[in-house]
């Protein structure tokens, strides 16, 4: 290891990078974080190039489901903390583990390539860092995606990644495009602040309230789950409760969903249907074409629009890899446990998945796996060698991907409980007696 600057290099100092630093510190592993911005926190930074925060952001997962279970959020926090509270919490975790002292700030990685049994990272400032192991934690939300439509828009065009406050909507006719959680939250901002607000979505969706029976909905969902032995009966009950509570979009004139409620990432929003019902937000289907400031929709309706807010997602940015070493177009879909690439035994990815849960416990579990994986490789564990065989057959572990819609949005979606079980199981095997040989079947039994 003496030829390397550090045992482990981590690209990205956001929430995933902080969680990794926590786990590696606990495992006694030497690491360094390479962070392109001037601070930790990634998307949760209040400002700066990495920030995705706007004034009205609150968590869509509850405090209990978002915190690290071994480092709870303050009791004074509400069920759904504001973005500023989430950022303060992440900074408290980073401070506890002295993450900043292990971080090189304003350090962008231009190229990462295998070199001498490790990884050589060439930096934008001309420097070079070498690591025995490299972990990529720069996140899924990197490059804004804006769909193309026939025609040209002459008004103001803003992507959700650049949206900061509802002040941008005042005095304007606003169209929000996109039906995900950010799209719905920002549509509510528009409903409350714009001269006229429209919300364009491509399909029907299942909407979930943020509270049921006085509890955050995710917690209610977990609490009632043991009462059902059949998944179909469980989700039928959940759907009936949501409809009774007023969260069936078809009751507000929206199209029926073309998928089951458990086949898509949940939309947690207690206000978007409320504002549709009050006439503050006008739903529209997908865009057909744009002519100047006239937007025509697929139902033939037209609206004069001053500002379009594109809540249409992001794509990853792994441009620092040569495709000969790691081809994101192919290799990302082949990650074992959504973390382990097939072609390298000293490269890992964290945060390259979606699941209907807050980040804390999932990050605890995945970071613990990373620490176990690195420790097993360093120790020359037999089970680590078996893992290298098993990752060539990712289908051996069912992560529940098959239940979700076949869309770009759900490309990285996994079933929460299947994923937790799979990661914990493999982690346990890696932590088992390193000197005892085990067949591949032992890692999947």
List the one residue out of 135, 86, 89 whose CA is nearest residue 109. 135
Strand 103-104 relative to strand 109-115: parallel, antiparallel, unpaired? unpaired
Long-range CB pairs of 293-301, under 8 A, 24+ apart, other chains included:
293/153, 293/154, 293/155, 295/153, 295/175, 297/200
Fold of 6-142+316-443: FAD/NAD(P)-binding domain (3.50.50)
* The CATH number of the domain covering residues in 159-310: 3.50.50.60
pLDDT tens digits in sequence order for the chain, 445 residues long: 458 989 999 999 999 999 999 999 999 999 999 999 999 999 999 988 889 999 999 999 999 999 999 999 999 999 999 999 999 999 999 999 999 999 999 999 999 999 999 999 999 999 999 999 999 999 888 899 999 999 999 999 999 999 999 999 999 999 999 999 999 999 999 999 999 999 999 999 999 999 999 999 999 999 999 999 999 999 999 999 999 999 999 999 999 999 999 988 889 999 999 999 999 999 999 999 999 999 999 999 999 999 999 999 999 999 999 999 999 989 998 899 999 999 999 999 999 998 888 888 899 999 999 999 999 999 999 999 999 998 987 667 788 877 887 777 788 888 888 999 999 999 999 998 543 333 334 444 4
Rounded-to-integer distance, Cα 430 and Cα 445, Å? 14
Q: Do domains 6-142+316-443 and 159-310 have the same CATH topology?
A: yes
Q: Map out the domains of the chain as residue ranges.
A: 6-142+316-443, 159-310
Q: Which two tokens stand for residue 133?
A: 């192991």
Rounded to two decimals, the pTM is: 0.93
């Amino acid at each position: 290891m003496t030829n390397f600057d550090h045992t482990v290099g981590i690209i990205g100092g956001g929430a995933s990078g902080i969680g990794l630093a926590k786990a590696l510190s606990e495992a006694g592993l030497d690491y360094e974080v390479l962070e392109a911005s001037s601070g930790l926190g990634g998307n949760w930074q209040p400002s700066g190039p990495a920030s995705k925060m706007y004034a009205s952001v609150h968590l869509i997962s509850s405090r209990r489901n978002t915190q690290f279970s071994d480092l709870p959020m303050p009791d004074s926090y509400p069920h759904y903390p504001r973005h500023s509270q989430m950022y303060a919490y992440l900074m408290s975790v980073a401070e506890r583990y002295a993450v900043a002292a292990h971080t090189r700030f304003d350090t962008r990685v231009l190229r990462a390539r295998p070199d001498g049994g490790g990884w050589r990272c060439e930096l934008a400032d001309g420097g070079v860092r070498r690591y025995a192991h490299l972990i990529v934690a720069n996140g899924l939300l990197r490059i804004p995606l804006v769909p193309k439509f026939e025609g040209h828009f002459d008004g103001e065009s803003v992507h959700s990644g650049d949206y900061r406050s509802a002040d941008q909507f005042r005095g304007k006719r606003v169209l929000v495009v996109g039906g995900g959680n950010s799209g719905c939250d920002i549509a509510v901002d528009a409903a409350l602040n714009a001269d006229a607000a429209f919300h364009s979505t491509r399909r029907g969706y299942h909407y979930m309230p943020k509270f049921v029976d006085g509890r955050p909905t995710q917690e209610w969902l977990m609490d009632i789950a043991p009462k059902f032995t059949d998944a179909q009966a469980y989700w039928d009950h959940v759907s009936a409760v949501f409809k009774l509570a007023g969260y069936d979009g078809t009751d507000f004139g929206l199209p029926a969903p073309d998928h089951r409620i458990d086949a898509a990432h949940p939309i947690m929003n207690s206000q978007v249907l409320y504002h549709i019902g009050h006439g503050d937000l006008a739903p529209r289907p997908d865009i057909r074409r744009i002519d100047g400031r006239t937007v025509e929709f697929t139902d033939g309706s037209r609206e004069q629009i001053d500002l379009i807010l594109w809540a249409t997602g992001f794509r990853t940015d792994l441009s620092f890899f040569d495709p000969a070493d790691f081809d994101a177009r192919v290799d990302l879909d082949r990650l074992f446990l959504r973390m382990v690439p097939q072609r390298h035994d000293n490269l890992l990815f964290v945060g390259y998945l979606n699941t209907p849960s807050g980040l804390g416990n999932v990050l605890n579990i995945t970071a613990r796996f990373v620490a176990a994986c690195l420790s097993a490789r360093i120790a020359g564990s037999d089970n680590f060698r078996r893992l290298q065989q098993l990752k060539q057959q990712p289908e051996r572990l069912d992560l529940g991907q098959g239940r979700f819609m076949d869309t770009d949005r759900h490309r990285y979606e996994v079933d929460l409980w299947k994923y937790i079980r799979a990661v914990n199981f493999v982690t346990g095997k890696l932590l088992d007696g390193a000197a005892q040989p085990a067949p591949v079947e032992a890692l999947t039994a």
